Amino acid sequence: MSRPTLVLDSALDAVGNTPLVRLDRIAKHEGLKCNLLGKLEYTSAGGSVKDRIAKRMVDCAEQEGKLIPGKSVVIEPTSGNTGIGLAMACAIKGYSVIITMPNKMSLEKEAALRALGAEVVRTPTEAAWDSPESHIGVAQRLQREIPGGIILDQYRNVNNPLAHELTTAPEIIEAVVSTPSTVAHPSSGKVDVVIAGAGTGGTISGIAQGIKKTHNPSCTIVGVDPVGSVLALPAALNDTSESGSYVVEGIGYDFVPDVLSRAPGLINSWVKTSDTDAFAAVQLLIRREGVLVGGSSGSALAGTLAWLRSDEGKTVAQTPGLNVVVMLPDGIRNYIGKEWFLKMALEAEPSPLAQQIAGV
Ligand code: PMP
């Protein structure tokens, strides 16, 4: 595997280059014949898939002369992970940072942000995206009020999807193409399906572009969107009698960001997922595969399994050698104190070993 072996200039050189790992135990448990491969973005230096866009947005803004060390104040509305990536880049490069983030996002993310030197402004979760109280509205106000304030704007910045087109997609392609087909693990030699959750939509749009343009135009791209969000197509999928709130962080919105491409045929299908299924899938990933992933990774896996069971995906599920890649965007350490995780970890049925210990 091509992990860097030389001394790196800074933590920014340890962004991306994440491993693609077989999820064989889950595949077997689910009766899948295809290869199920998880891309572990929590191994990136800042702990998430969003490090890639933070690094690229900062680098490009610097090249365009938009950032001045000691003067510029980088302001960004985020569910936290883009903020952590930006705060990491800005700690290294010497820019001040203000992150605006809805209240529902974890304390762990806020603590990491503050440790990196960022200021954090919390906003009401229920504020509509275009209201002055939302994380986006507050960021815009701060930009107007604070001298040197600049919003790199992950919702509109082309460097968001481009970061994935130019790094995430090639990494997936290289790993799949370079892995030989064997009797134990037959492989089509191509990336056949990619499944990813959408927040800004940069990850899924950029990966779809990269793979379809340079590798496999018929790769199936499946988007995952939480129940209560409006990103899925056809729009009728978003009709729900349930409330618009969901606990999972980082995916789903009440508006369609510009960087989520609606180009026909680019994202082929969408799956809606519930918190319950997402958190059960997190447990499956941690327990069966030992991958310490966060909530939206559970959504991505839950969406993957639902798609592979659907009429559209069931042939893929039963075809040996097809490569199905699922994006796992961040790690469980972002959510250790969240009620859903503590319940899962601490209130599980006692294992036979626990009963044995209690009996000693
Ligand atoms: N999962 C998590 C945990 C995230 O922080 C994000 C980014 N908001 C995503 C998934 C979705 O990524 P994107 O914004 O590229 O759609």
User: What is the Å distance from ligand 1's center to 240 Cα?
Assistant: 22
User: What is the Å distance from ligand 1's center to 49 Cα?
Assistant: 7
Which letter, b or e, does each residue of 186-211 get, where b requires 16 or more Cβ atoms within 10 Å of its Cβ?
ebbebbbbbbbbbbbbbbbbbbbbbb
Report CA-CA distances (Å) from 334 to 171, 185, 217, 306. Answer: 24, 33, 35, 25
User: What is the Å distance from ligand 1's center to 198 Cα?
Assistant: 6
Contact of 198 with 192, CB cutoff 8 Å:
no
Cα gap 24→29, rounded to integer Å: 8
Per-residue pLDDT, 243: 65
Protein residue closest via CA to atom 10 of ligand 1: 250
Cα gap 264→137, rounded to integer Å: 31
Question: Rounded to the nearest 5°, which phi and psi values hold at 35?
Answer: -85, 130
Cα gap 302→95, rounded to integer Å: 39
User: What is the Å distance from ligand 1's center to 297 Cα?
Assistant: 10
Is the CA virtual torsion 78, 291, 19, 309 positive or negative?
negative
Per-residue pLDDT, 1: 44
In the Cβ-directed half-sphere of 31, how many Cα atoms lie within 13 Å? 5
- Using the atom order of ligand 1, give the atom closest to the CA of residue 334: 3
Q: Residue 123 pairs with which residues in a beta bridge?
A: 102
Question: Rounded to the nearest 5°, which phi and psi values hold at 195?
Answer: -125, 130
Residue 231 zone, left/alpha/beta (φ > 0; ψ -120 to 50; rest): alpha
Protein residue closest via CA to atom 9 of ligand 1: 250
Please state the pTM of the whole predicted model.
0.97
Question: Rounded to the nearest 5°, which phi and psi values hold at 291?
Answer: -100, 120
In the β-sheet with 96-102, what is the strand arrangement from edge to edge? Answer: 119-123, 96-102, 73-77, 149-151
For residue 155, what are the contacts with CB-CB under 8 A and spacing of at least 6?
Answer: 77, 136, 200, 257, 258, 259
Protein residue closest via CA to atom 6 of ligand 1: 250
| Helix (H), strand (E), coil (C) string for 135-167 | HHHHHHHHHHHCCCEEECCCCCCCHHHHHHHHH
Cα gap 302→324, rounded to integer Å: 14
Q: What is the block-wise mean pLDDT of the chain (360 residues), using blocks of 10 residues?
A: 78 98 98 98 98 98 94 97 98 97 98 98 96 98 98 98 98 98 98 98 98 98 97 94 85 97 97 97 97 98 98 98 99 97 89 85
For residue 284, what are the contacts with CB-CB under 8 A and spacing of at least 6?
Answer: 26, 29, 298, 301
296, 334, 338: residue to mutate for ligand 1 pocket, most atoms within 8 A of CB: 296
Residue-wise DSSP of 235-294: GGGG--SS-S--S--SS--SS--TTS---TTTS-EEEEE-HHHHHHHHHHHHHHH---B-
Confidence check on the interface: ipTM exceeds 0.90, yes or no? yes
Q: Residue 195 pairs with which residues in a beta bridge?
A: 222, 326
Which residues form ligand 1's pocket by a CB distance below 6 Å? 48-50, 79, 81, 197-203, 249-251, 294, 296, 329-330
Contact of 196 with 207, CB cutoff 8 Å:
yes
Nearest C-alpha neighbor of 46 from the set 104, 90, 105, 107: 90
Helix, strand or coil, per DSSP, at residue 6: coil
Cα gap 111→14, rounded to integer Å: 21
